[in-house]
Amino acid sequence: MAEPQLQREVEPQLLNGDDVNEEREDADTSESLKKKRRKKKKSKATAPAGSNEAEGSGPSGGVGDVTKQLEQQTLEDKEREEDGEEDGDEGENSSGKKKKKKKKKKGLKGQTDPPSVPICELYPNGDFPKGEECEYPPSKDGRSAAWRTTSDEKRALDMANEEMWSDFRQAAEAHRQVRLYVRSWIKPGMTMIDICEKLEDCSRRLIKENGLKAGLAFPTGCSINHCAAHYTPNAGDPTVLRYDDVCKIDFGTHINGRIIDCAFTVTFNPKYDRLLEAVRDATNTGIKFAGIDVRLCDVGETIQEVMESYEVEIDGKTYQVKPIRNLNGHSIGPYRIHSGKTVPIVKGGEATRMEEGEAYAIETFGSTGRGAVHDDMECSHYMKNFNVGHVPIRLPRAKHLLNVINENFGTLAFCRRWLDRLGESKYLMALKNLCDLGIVDPYPPLCDIKGSYTAQYEHTILLRPTCKEVVSRGDDY
């Protein structure tokens, strides 16, 4: 705003030989301004020293003043050209500047490659992308659930919980961007530690980790082949991802304890494509049939039916894809990954019903083995017991470790690598003591028979009053 005003104060002093009335008439037009500038530049270049002195004796000042004013005007012209402004009135100049600034701000709101801008900064107004919104399935007597989308009461209830849904969506958007990034670089020959740490570093940046308010919900699972779940490498683990491996990437993010639990399977050899298709189809079927007042056992039955309809040929041998019967989906609560209800993936589960306002992780596991898992290998996952009360602890190191767990993880799952990252050392005895006292629960890797292959797909769904939202849904799966 100051720039056009300064220009108009300088110009009258430079027009010593010009007619003042002519200057006033032409001052507002861009053509006359350009002519005058050309005239000034020409007179500066060709006028003899004597004439300058004669002009300098007038009321407008000496040679030094005129030179300074010309230099200042030249600088102003250059600045205007650099800013991309056209010659015009003051209002047009100011509005042009505002538009330019606005465009620059918009340009800054894109994600970098690799991703580094936190999701909360990409969406500063807090309007995070929604997941896939679906109508609830019709009830057993054939009644449609479409009325929920138009009911004023249900809409009001939905809006009342908007802050909670927003937390889920922010965590889900971070999950989507991280897994897209992981798919761009994961390849055979990488160590599992490198894969997990690179994924977790990106996840921490995008979720903008902040103590227990925002961060990782549980350790990155990267179970391979016959190992179906709960494997993440401990320090010094030399395991390397190979071309013929089937790797389940299972990681979680949270905002204010609202957890996104979502997983996918990575393969490089196309011979496993049919296995992945079977499990993905089973997961999507479970999502489709889930809803308010639906019995959990009915969801399990539909999942089993779809998964067992697939056969896969691997190395010349044909296998029926079996659901892993002792692995389940589950309800999700604040800061509680398994909050009480289980969603079976075979028929014959509990007849408990899903309820409005709940969040569920719908996950399915398919196997070419026995279709059942057992504890195996070295434990890496741990989680504080959600319902534990006060338990007296005698070992000082165990007391210290519990304080570290409470401060950094609360009731969220953690792994030994994360304790190492916090600078803890020689804590295994203290950790065992906390497990023996029932304060912390160990979650060892879960494996089918050796030589078999297992795959997993998982999404988090929200049973909102108006509709079902597959909040972690992305373009990838």
Residues acting as catalytic residues: 250, 261, 330, 338, 363, 458
Asked if 427 contacts 403 with a C-beta cutoff of 8 angstroms, the reply is no
Residues β-bridged to residue 227:
447
Question: Which two tokens mark 1?
Answer: 């705003």
**Angstrom distance (rounded) from CA 35 to CA 19:** 14
Question: Which two tokens mark 230?
Answer: 């709960």
Tell me the residue type at 349.
G
| Ramachandran angles phi, psi of 246, nearest 5° | -115, 110
For residue 134, give the 3-state DSSP assignment. strand
For residue 366, count other CB atoms closer than 10 A to its CB: 32
Tell me the residue type at 76.
E
For residue 305, count other CB atoms closer than 10 A to its CB: 14
| Ramachandran angles phi, psi of 215, nearest 5° | 165, -155
Asked if 331 contacts 360 with a C-beta cutoff of 8 angstroms, the reply is yes
Which of 262, 241, 273, 92 has its CA nearest to residue 172?
262
**Angstrom distance (rounded) from CA 97 to CA 176:** 36
| Ramachandran angles phi, psi of 385, nearest 5° | -65, 125
Which of 206, 313, 320, 225 has its CA nearest to residue 265?
225
**Angstrom distance (rounded) from CA 393 to CA 372:** 37
**Angstrom distance (rounded) from CA 470 to CA 376:** 33
